[in-house]
Amino acid sequence: MKVEDVLSLMETEEVVCVDLRFTDLKGKLQHMTLAAEMVDGDLFEEGFMFDGSSVAGWKSIDQSDMKLMPDPASAYLDPFYAEKTLCLHCDVVEPDTGEPYSRDPRSTAARAEAYLRACGIGDVSYWGPEAEFFLFDDVRYAVTPQKVSYEIDAAAAAWNTDASFEMGNTGHRAPHKGAYFPVNPIDEGQDIRGEMLSTMKRMGIKVDKHHHEVATCQHELGMIFGGLVEQADNMQKYKYVIHNVAHAYGKSATFMPKPMKGDNGSGMHVNMSIWRDGKPLFAGDKYADLSQEALWFIGGILKHAKALNALTNPSTNSYKRLIPGFEAPVLRAYSARNRSGCVRIPWTESPKAKRVEARFPDPSANPYLCFAALLMAGIDGIRNKIDSGPASDKDLYDLPPEELESIPTVCGSLREALEELEKDMDFLLAGDVFTRDQLDAHIRLKWEEVYAYEHTPHPIEYAMYYAC
C-alpha cells in the first residue's frame, strides 16, 4: 500500500482509530492509538512524537524525544479491538536529524537487507520462520523473597489422564513427547488453531498450515516465506494473534522456549534463501544440490553461532531447551538428512525452493534482530569464503563419545552467549547494520536478566540441598 491507499482504506472501512506499532529492543510489540481524524498524509511525512525514555534499553530521560514513522505498506485492520482500528508498523527515527534510531530493531532489519544488495551478493532474501508455542488453561507464578514458584495446567495436558473434571474425563490425551500429528479428540487444538490461521490470513499474512507439535499442549502455525522486514513484521503479528485468540478462548499462550520439564521445548526454525537477478543463489551442484555460496553461508552461521545465540536465543530459559543429548539442535553441524545439527537443508525438488534452515533459534528472539543477525553471519561466510566443513549425515546423538566430542556446540547459557557476542560482533557491525551502541544496550539489558536469574534460588535447589 501507498499513503493514498491507506487513507482510502480508512474511509472505506470507516476506521475509528489508528494503532501505531513498534518493537522494543527486547522484541515486544508496543503501540499508541490515535483517533482517525488525526491521521492524514502529513503523519506519514512528519511522524508522531513519543517518549523514548520509557522504553527499556532506549533513551535517557534527558534525550527522551523520539519519532514514529508509519510504514504504509504494513497497514492491516486489527481483528480484536471493539472499535474499527487500522494498524501501522513504524520505524523509529531521531526527531532532530530524521535518521533511523540506532537501537530500533526494524531499522536494523532494513539495513541488513540494504547491505545484502550493497555487497552485490543478492537482490533479496526470503525468510520462513516456524515458531512453536504452548497453550495452557491456568498459569500462576511468584518470585518473592519467601516464594519462588510456578504452576501450569491444561485440561488437555498429558498429566491429567486421572484428573477429576465436573463434566467427566474423556481420557483422550497424547503422552509426553507423543503429541505430534494425532487427529482430534486427542488433538484438542484443531479449532483454536484454525481460528488463529484464518485470523492471520484476514490480516494479510500468507499462511499454509497448522498442527499439534510433539510436546503436550504445544502447537505451530505456518507462514509462507517473505522478505526480511516483512516476515519480522509478520512474526510480530503471529505472536499477537496467538496471544489474543488464546485469550478469547480463555487460554494462555506462551512463546517461552521451555515452560515445563520433561517435554520438548519450543523452537523457531528459520528458513533462509537469497536470490540474485531473479535466480535462487543457493541452488547448485554441491552437497544436497546447494551452491558454493550456500555452503559459505552455512559456514558463516556455524562460525558465528555462539555470538548469534545472544540474539537468536536471548533468554535464560532458551538454554533449558538447548541441552546436548536431546532433540534440540545444539551441535554446530549441518545436514540434509537429520535434524540433530543446528543447520539443516530441507529436501526439495525445485531449485527455487532451495534454502538453509537454522534450527537453534527460538521464539523468545526479537525477530528483526534474529533475522538480521543470521543474514549478516551468512553474508560474512560468503564474503570471506568460510568453509562449512563436511556435512554430518549420521545421527549426531548416536555417535561414539569420542566422535561426539569433536563436534563444537552452541552456547550453554545466556551468560556464555553474551560473553561470546562481546568477543565476536564485527560481522554484525559491517555496513553499519548493527551499531556498537545498539549491541551494548542489548547486552546490558540481558545481563540484568542473567543476574536476576543467577541471584534467585530455584525450587530444585531446595529439593537437592535443603537437608544438606
Residues annotated as part of the active site: 51, 130, 132, 213, 220, 269, 339, 357, 359
CB atoms within 10 A of CB 449: 16
Q: Which residues are annotated as a binding site for Mg(2+)?
A: 130, 132, 213, 220, 269, 357
What b/e readout covers 57-95, taking b as 16+ CB neighbours within 10 angstroms? Answer: bbbeeeeeebbbbbbbebbbbbbeeeeebbbbbbbbbbe
What b/e readout covers 209-225, taking b as 16+ CB neighbours within 10 angstroms? Answer: ebbbbbbbbbbbbbbeb
Do the Cβ atoms of 34 and 20 come closer than 8 Å? yes
Q: Tell me the torsion sign for CA atoms 424, 425, 428, 431.
A: negative
CA 332 to chain centre: 20
Do the Cβ atoms of 75 and 87 come closer than 8 Å? yes
- Could you give the CA distance from residue 314 to residue 419 in angstroms, rounded to a whole number? 12
| Residue 462 parent element (H or E) | helix 459-465
Contacts of residue 263, defined as CB under 8 A and 6 or more positions apart, other chains included, come to 158, 176, 177, 214, 215, 216, 218
Helix residue ranges per DSSP H, 323-413: 367-383, 401-404
| Residue 399 parent element (H or E) | none
What is the DSSP code string of 101-150? PTT-HHHHHHHHHHHHHHTTS-SEEEEEEEEEEEEESEEEEEEETTEEEE
Q: Which residues are annotated as a binding site for ATP?
A: 208, 339, 352
What b/e readout covers 409-420, taking b as 16+ CB neighbours within 10 angstroms? Answer: bbbebbbbbbbb
